[in-house]
Chains A and B, each alone.
Chain A
Amino acid sequence: MKQGNQRLRRVIQKLQVGSSSPKVTPTIPEDVEVDLEGVVSPEVLNQTPEEVMFLDLETTGLRASRSLAAMIGFLYRKGTILHLSQWYAGDAASERRQLKRLREKMAGFREIVTYNGDGFDLPFLCQRWKWHRLDSECPLISRDLLPLIRKKYRRTWPDCRLVTAEERLLGLPRCEADVPGSEAPLRFQDLREGAPFAVIEPIYLHNRRDLISLVGLRYRLQEEMLSS
């Protein structure tokens, strides 16, 4: 630069005055790290290998090119308990941190279980990794449960959403307080625009619920496969 950084600094101060009202980015809430006990039967737990990661993303939109992976939720077995991690990212910079951590975490697993992960979660992740200029190949073997469910129950069920699968295969109706996943983008938006953190608490619960169901569904599908 010809005139050094002093000039640049003043220029930027100027730019700031002209731009729209500044929005305060919320600080990242503490990431959720909990051990869950007794949420699945010992039988299911025993049949869940430790090298499997269950993953569900909550995003700020459907298009990876202009949305964030605002919450990365994943679950795995650690001995006799299930460990749940839910990492929140309110902006691109913190998303990078979480995505990078996720890649490091993934190194300890072999298989990734999702519901419609091949159609959404994994391409979304890869695109976000690429955008952040990180390594963008998914290192795990993907096991998407949605195609298996579809193949089997497409003709008999009204739809193959995760909620339906839970109800029909696991006999677990969702409680009233549960918000649909499609509401997540709006709630993340509210939070970024200054709403209290409580607006996304239902998303945490929803995500946790989805992940636990994945463990159950995987077990059921495996059982059915063996028995047939």
Chain B
Amino acid sequence: METRPRKNPLRNPLHESALHEAPTPLEVLSDVESRLGSAEELVARQTLPAREAIPAEEAPPLDSRILEHLQKSGTWPLYRHQAQSISRTLAGEDVVIASSTASGKTLCCTLPVIDAMVRDPGAHALLLYPTKALSQDQHRHLRGVIDGMGLQLETGIYDGDTEPTMRRRLRRSGRIILTNPDMLHASILPNHGGWGALFANLRYVVLDEVHTLRGIFGSHVSAVIRRLRRICRHHGSDPVFIAASATIRNPGEHVGRLIGREVSVIEDDGSPRGHKEVVLWNPPVVERTDGTLTRRGPTSVAVRLLPELVRRGLRTICFARTRNNVELILRYIRERARGASDREEVASKIEPYRAGYLPTERRRIESSLFDGELGGVVSTSALEVGIDVGGLDGCIIVGWPGSVCSFMQQAGRAGRRHGESLVFMIAGNDPIDQWFVRHPESLFGSSPENAVIETDNPYIVARHLICAAYELPLTSADDDLLGPGVTAMCTVLQEEKRLREEGGAWYLAREEYPATQVKLRTASEENFTILELGPDNIVGELDYVAAMLSLYEGAIYIHRTETFIVEEMDHVNCLVKIRRTKTGYYTQVLTQKRVTVTEEWDTREVCGARIRLAEVEIRTRLTGYKKVRFHSTENIGYGEVHLPPLELDTVSHEISLDRDTVMQSEEHGPGFLRSGMHGVARLFRDLLAIRAMCDPGDIDHHVDDNLIHIFDLYPGGIGYSELGHEQHDGILKDVLEAVVECPCVAGCPSCVLPGASRIESSLESEVMEYPYPKEATRWLLHRLMGLEPYKPELHGVPAPVESPLNPPAPALDERVERKIRKVARLTSRGNR
């Protein structure tokens, strides 16, 4: 991003008014340290030393006008990895550049594109960015280079925000199109006839931030890219792919799977780096008024730390995990500042940023952060990917961001080429946070993670085959791009009357526009628009599932620290009407789940249980909501919700405890087993998330009777619970380690108890109030791992119950049981 002129990026408004020397980030850090109550709070400190730039030895064979421009604009010489990557791209190789944040990947992508435009007046290029905000930023950068060279090139962003006239213009004469995978899928590919010039002359496809194209989204995008290559081939082009990634362990393998052919990997980072201090901060355990112990929340640390850093002149970005957290942090900061004019000035220099704001509002915040008008910003991961917000001095990460890769990206937002920067990672109470606090070496030492995509999920493949059939009839010629099973899958789709065969080609069996039924990122069909009554402003948008779980009538919606009450949900028009109101509470939905197995895939006996991998149907009923007071988080009331249940077809790893285990647990009293099951389930899910390199929020668990379900929160599954099924024993070992290593006595949210950030409000009080969840979990783990029986220490618990209240049902003949299950399955299928 070297080419963009900066409006005094080092200026800090607060400093200039205060007229004193700005302390360096390291000075600020030692100051913060000296004021801490206990040095133990800072559990690990890692110095990433400054690094010199490694310039390229020879210039890549770019057009002389481009080289001239680079020299003029001070971007010369290129770094070694940039020159390498550009040379390979120009030689026609697909490449992926995997290097750290701000290492100049953008130029690796844009220079070959501009080179093609300069040399060939017919050449076109397609640039794909995972978010709209990123394409805005990258377009500004690209225009900077193009205008700086005095070229006449039609370029533009083609996304959901693009005006119809601009859309027509880009279709007709756009040479470089910036868009996102969603738009490519839903609008450009289905109408490829209108984009003839683009597809016939497509030279380059740029995929930026490919490490974000993983999991569900990545699996969909890989199908979209296969469709893209098919359309290109139809129009007579075969574009070269240029991918840019954060440092992950498997960039070559990942991009290879994503685009369906082998790529060259450039990992040799030659960019300079400033000195960076990374601090892991574990907030102290404090005593509540009722005498119980709790860990101070990361939010409350951030609320104090962020204004401190901003006040001292460090431009700081603060990453929170959820949209709600962003709003909460800012609200608390403003509340704390009230009354003191200097604090208020600091607070006014901090703004929130998250998805759900209107594009114009987001653009304004981005640019004022870039220009240095803002001292700090509180953001969700929306600002994590490559949006250039200029060099920042500090970064606060509030709670584990979900993956090492995300952590590195967020930490990379702070740091200039030269000079120092500070990164604070404030651990939350969740097991994963605490796991990394206890194992900091896995953050700094071990190699980073794998990006995982599933190219075989039949939900994804079938949907994209139908989309592909709309674009062009499917034939056996598509085997090499869409996979060798195309013909077989088409036959099934024909039997189900979605496709129709005619002379060896498959067509849609009816008139439809299938792309609208396939969303790449969520399972939800519609977005809800949020309308503020009174001024009648549209304040934002939320996707279907998120809206169902947070916007029911009576719910409190927090937007830019203001509270609103939801007055009406209009499901027909997907409109939520809210009214501004002052409340002292927020709301949390209460749910009830039911899991039905529809097909069993694999089953095996393990110690104390039978585990199986199965396709399941999960119905979530929203039963009501509770009102939670700000700050104290106490319950102050309940409300009713009248909504249809949410349904999810997915894959589950089911652990069904055997009768013996259930009966033996009964001697430890009521609530013991269920508490243990919840403990195992929660930790299993979190530790599986680390192995599957996904957000723990992509996996859910449910405990029912003697069954523990660990399932993917995506229709058809994305392979997470399959991984759990495969690595069942290994994960249980991790779970036991986490329980044993946790310093708490009876169990805490860092190990076996639900964290405050989870929607687990459906728990019965018997489990919530069970006094020894940790002992129960340990006992169950010993059973499940075939270890020596564990003797739980249950002080003051009633003596073993001699005759269980519910005697076990008489054993059923296995064959009879199988038949009953089969009937149950068949009938449940028939009801759909």
Do A and B associate with each other? yes
Could you list which residues of chain A lie within 8 angstroms of chain B, going by C-beta atoms?
A: 1-3, 5-20, 22-25, 63-66, 91-94, 96-97, 100, 127, 130-133, 192
C-alpha gap A97/B503 in the complex (Å) = 7
Are B477's CB and A8's CB within 8 A? no
Nearest chain B residue, comparing its CB with the CB of A192: B511
Are A3's CB and B193's CB within 8 A? no
11 A-B pairs within 8 Å (CB atoms) are namely: A1-B485, A1-B489, A3-B601, A6-B599, A9-B495, A11-B462, A14-B832, A24-B510, A25-B509, A96-B473, A133-B473
Interface residues of B in 461-499 (CB under 8 A from A): 461-463, 466, 472-473, 475, 477, 485, 488-489, 492-493, 495-498
Are B503's CB and A100's CB within 8 A? yes
A13, A18, A24, A127: the one within 8 Å of B496 (CB): A13
Are B507's CB and A92's CB within 8 A? yes
Are B510's CB and A97's CB within 8 A? no
C-alpha gap A14/B219 in the complex (Å) = 20
On chain A, the residues within 8 Å of B472 by CB distance are 131, 133
C-alpha gap A131/B473 in the complex (Å) = 8
C-alpha gap A192/B508 in the complex (Å) = 14
On chain B, the residues within 8 Å of A8 by CB distance are 458, 461-462, 489, 492-493
On chain A, the residues within 8 Å of B755 by CB distance are none
Nearest CB of A to B472, in Å: 6
Nearest chain A residue, comparing its CB with the CB of B500: A93
On chain A, the residues within 8 Å of B473 by CB distance are 92-93, 96, 131-133
On chain A, the residues within 8 Å of B638 by CB distance are none
Number of interface residues of B (CB under 8 A): 49
A1, A22, A25, A97: the one within 8 Å of B458 (CB): A1
Known: A12-B492, A64-B193, A133-B475. A7 touches B502 (CB 8 A): no
C-alpha gap A126/B760 in the complex (Å) = 60
Nearest CB of A to B711, in Å: 16
On chain A, the residues within 8 Å of B509 by CB distance are 25, 93
A14, A25, A65: the one within 8 Å of B193 (CB): A65
The listed residue with most B CB atoms (<10 A of its CB), out of A10, A12, A13, A14, is: A12
Q: In terms of DSSP, what is the predominant structure of the interface of chain A?
A: helix
The listed residue with most A CB atoms (<10 A of its CB), out of B458, B496, B599, is: B458
On chain B, the residues within 8 Å of A127 by CB distance are 193
Are B492's CB and A22's CB within 8 A? no
Nearest CB of B to A125, in Å: 15
Nearest CB of B to A1, in Å: 6
Nearest CB of B to A228, in Å: 41
Are A65's CB and B510's CB within 8 A? no
On chain A, the residues within 8 Å of B596 by CB distance are none
C-alpha gap A74/B824 in the complex (Å) = 60
Could you list which residues of chain B lie within 8 angstroms of chain A, going by C-beta atoms?
A: 191-194, 196, 234, 456, 458-459, 461-463, 466, 472-473, 475, 477, 485, 488-489, 492-493, 495-498, 500-503, 505, 507-512, 514, 517, 525, 598-599, 601, 615, 649, 715-716, 829, 832
Nearest CB of B to A123, in Å: 12
Are A3's CB and B498's CB within 8 A? no
Nearest chain A residue, comparing its CB with the CB of B514: A19
C-alpha gap A15/B525 in the complex (Å) = 12
B477, B598, B601: the one within 8 Å of A133 (CB): B477
On chain B, the residues within 8 Å of A3 by CB distance are 458, 601
C-alpha gap A133/B475 in the complex (Å) = 9
On chain A, the residues within 8 Å of B832 by CB distance are 13-14, 17
Q: In terms of DSSP, what is the predominant structure of the interface of chain B?
A: mixed
Report the 6 A-B pairs with minimum CB-CB distance, sorted nearest first.
Answer: A65-B193, A93-B502, A93-B507, A12-B496, A92-B507, A8-B458
Known: A1-B458, A7-B458, A17-B832. A96 touches B488 (CB 8 A): no
Nearest chain B residue, comparing its CB with the CB of A7: B458
On chain B, the residues within 8 Å of A6 by CB distance are 599
C-alpha gap A6/B500 in the complex (Å) = 19
Are B458's CB and A14's CB within 8 A? no
Nearest chain A residue, comparing its CB with the CB of B513: A20
Known: A12-B492, A13-B496. A66 touches B502 (CB 8 A): no
B194, B462, B601: the one within 8 Å of A65 (CB): B194
On chain B, the residues within 8 Å of A13 by CB distance are 496, 832
Are A132's CB and B505's CB within 8 A? yes
Nearest CB of A to B508, in Å: 7
C-alpha gap A211/B649 in the complex (Å) = 56
Nearest chain A residue, comparing its CB with the CB of B829: A10
Are A96's CB and B505's CB within 8 A? yes
Nearest CB of A to B612, in Å: 14
Are B458's CB and A92's CB within 8 A? no
On chain B, the residues within 8 Å of A2 by CB distance are 456, 458
Nearest chain B residue, comparing its CB with the CB of A66: B193
Nearest CB of B to A191, in Å: 12
Nearest chain B residue, comparing its CB with the CB of A17: B832
On chain A, the residues within 8 Å of B459 by CB distance are 11
Nearest CB of A to B189, in Å: 12
Are B193's CB and A63's CB within 8 A? yes
Nearest chain A residue, comparing its CB with the CB of B193: A65
Known: A19-B512, A92-B507, A94-B502. A14 touches B517 (CB 8 A): no
Nearest CB of A to B375, in Å: 48
A9, A25, A63, A100: the one within 8 Å of B510 (CB): A25
C-alpha gap A19/B514 in the complex (Å) = 9
On chain B, the residues within 8 Å of A96 by CB distance are 473, 502-503, 505, 507
C-alpha gap A23/B497 in the complex (Å) = 12
Nearest chain A residue, comparing its CB with the CB of B458: A8
Nearest CB of A to B456, in Å: 5
Are B511's CB and A65's CB within 8 A? no
On chain B, the residues within 8 Å of A130 by CB distance are 234
